[in-house]
């Protein structure tokens, strides 16, 4: 799948969505100055998002180096279905970071390994977890703290499904369009994001809240 179409979303649908939410760089003043980089692998938006946050704090590394800090589980590669090969994204990146979520060869990683990788590069982590609501997120971003957030690629609020990983953990999953972006500002009813797949743009607060809720308001906020 092309780099411009991350996490299994169809190119036509993605193009329509970006036009709807505003694909141009955000006009609103950013509370956080974060450079934008395109993700370097097909399916590694989490590493790409963390790379941008790290660069905003003067720490630089490529996606593959960041993934080594995060950890990649190529043994328990399945996701979305219970079983002995079902990976745990709370422990490591599940599957091939250069694979395809739609094809079932690569998925992603949730907040604990991303937060651990951020700390390993010397960043302070203010919050990491689910339940980091939009009001808390807005407050921290307005103080200049960039946030990596987990969303639906098409900014939908999808019903969570659950599967059992190899280690017995129950995993929430709403793919095949799991995605991460960096939030840089809230202004005028819109949220500015650095999307490692699609660039800088804004979405309405309603769309943001919907997409963000899909993974339980999951975020890693960096000091």
pLDDT tens-digit readout, 138-153:
999 999 999 999 999 9
pLDDT, position 79: 94
162-219 residue pLDDT tens: 999 999 999 999 999 999 999 999 999 999 999 999 999 999 999 999 999 999 999 9
pTM for this one? 0.89
Residue identified by tokens 């500015």 is 192
pLDDT, position 62: 98
pLDDT at 110 over 60: yes
* Whether 117 contacts 213, CB under 8 Å: no
pLDDT, position 26: 40
Q: CB atoms < 10 A from the CB of 32, how many?
A: 21
Tokens standing for residue 38: 């395109």
Q: CB atoms < 10 A from the CB of 2, how many?
A: 8
Q: Is 181 helix (H, G, I), strand (E, B) or coil?
A: strand
Q: CB atoms < 10 A from the CB of 33, how many?
A: 10
10-27 residue pLDDT tens: 433 443 444 344 444 443
Nearest to 209 by CA among 129, 133, 154: 133
Dihedrals phi, psi of 208, to nearest 5 degrees: -60, -50
In sequence order, what E strands does 159-216 have?
161-164, 170-173, 178-187, 190-195, 199-204
């Amino acid at each position: 799948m092309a780099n411009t179409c991350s996490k299994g979303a169809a190119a036509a649908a993605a193009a329509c969505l970006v036009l709807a939410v505003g694909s141009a760089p955000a006009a609103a003043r950013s509370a956080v100055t974060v450079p934008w980089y395109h993700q370097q692998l097909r399916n590694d938006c989490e590493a790409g998002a963390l790379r941008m946050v790290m660069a905003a704090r003067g720490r630089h590394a490529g996606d593959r180096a960041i993934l080594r800090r995060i950890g990649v589980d190529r043994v328990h590669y399945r996701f979305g279905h219970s079983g002995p090969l079902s990976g745990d994204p709370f422990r490591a990146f599940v599957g091939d970071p250069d694979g395809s979520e739609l094809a079932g060869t690569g998925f992603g990683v949730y907040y604990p390994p991303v937060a651990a990788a951020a700390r390993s590069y010397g960043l302070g982590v203010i919050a990491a977890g689910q339940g980091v609501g939009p009001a808390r997120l807005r407050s921290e971003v307005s103080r200049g703290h960039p946030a990596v957030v987990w969303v639906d690629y098409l900014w939908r609020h999808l019903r969570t499904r659950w599967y059992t990983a190899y280690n017995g953990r129950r995993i929430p999953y709403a793919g095949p369009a799991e995605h991460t972006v960096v939030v840089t500002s809230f202004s005028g009813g819109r949220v500015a994001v650095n999307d490692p797949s699609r660039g800088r743009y804004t979405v309405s607060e309603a769309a943001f809240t919907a997409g963000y809720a899909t993974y339980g308001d999951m975020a890693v906020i960096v000091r």
